[in-house]
Structure 1
């Protein structure tokens, strides 16, 4: 999953969940990604709703990106 492991906006190092949620919410074919904070800013929702989605997808097992 993903070749570029830094946020395209702020340059912070990314973890697997950052990349997976970006692919889930923005583009499955993305080659560059944003960290959760920058994605929350882009989506005008902040960090907390994105973290809740990550927990939901991970616990439900319905998305292969979070397995």
Structure 2
């Protein structure tokens, strides 16, 4: 389902985590998404903090987007 989605900025194929973190940080009603690299640029934080958040949400088990 997610595999046919592309980053709205650089057109790379998106993984499920790309879509989930975009929904979590930007908008739950988004229809277009950014990859982790482009999201990091947009949020002016880079890739690493976003990857840490993904790990946190996945390990906590409290977010349905990361199950």
User: For the superposition of Structure 1 and Structure 2, which TM-score range results when normalised by the shorter chain?
Assistant: over 0.9
SS at match of 2:54: helix
The separation in 2 between residues aligned to 1:54 and 1:22, in whole angstroms, is: 10
* Corresponding residue for residue 9 of structure 1: 9
Identify, as 1 or 2, the structure richer in helix: 2
Please provide the CA RMSD for this pair: 1.6
Give the TM-score taking structure 2 as reference length: 0.94
Pairs aligned (count): 67
Compute the TM-score of the two structures, normalised by the length of structure 1: 0.94
Tell me which residue corresponds to 1:36.
36
Which secondary structure state, in structure 2, belongs to the residue aligned with residue 49 of structure 1? helix
CA deviation map 1:9-29 (0-9, x unaligned): 000000000000000000000
Aligned-pair CA distance for 1:7: 0.1
Structure 2 gaps, min length 5: none
State how far apart, in whole Å, the 2-side matches of 1:15 and 1:32 are.
Answer: 13
**Tell me, which stretches of 5 or more residues in structure 1 are unaligned?**
none
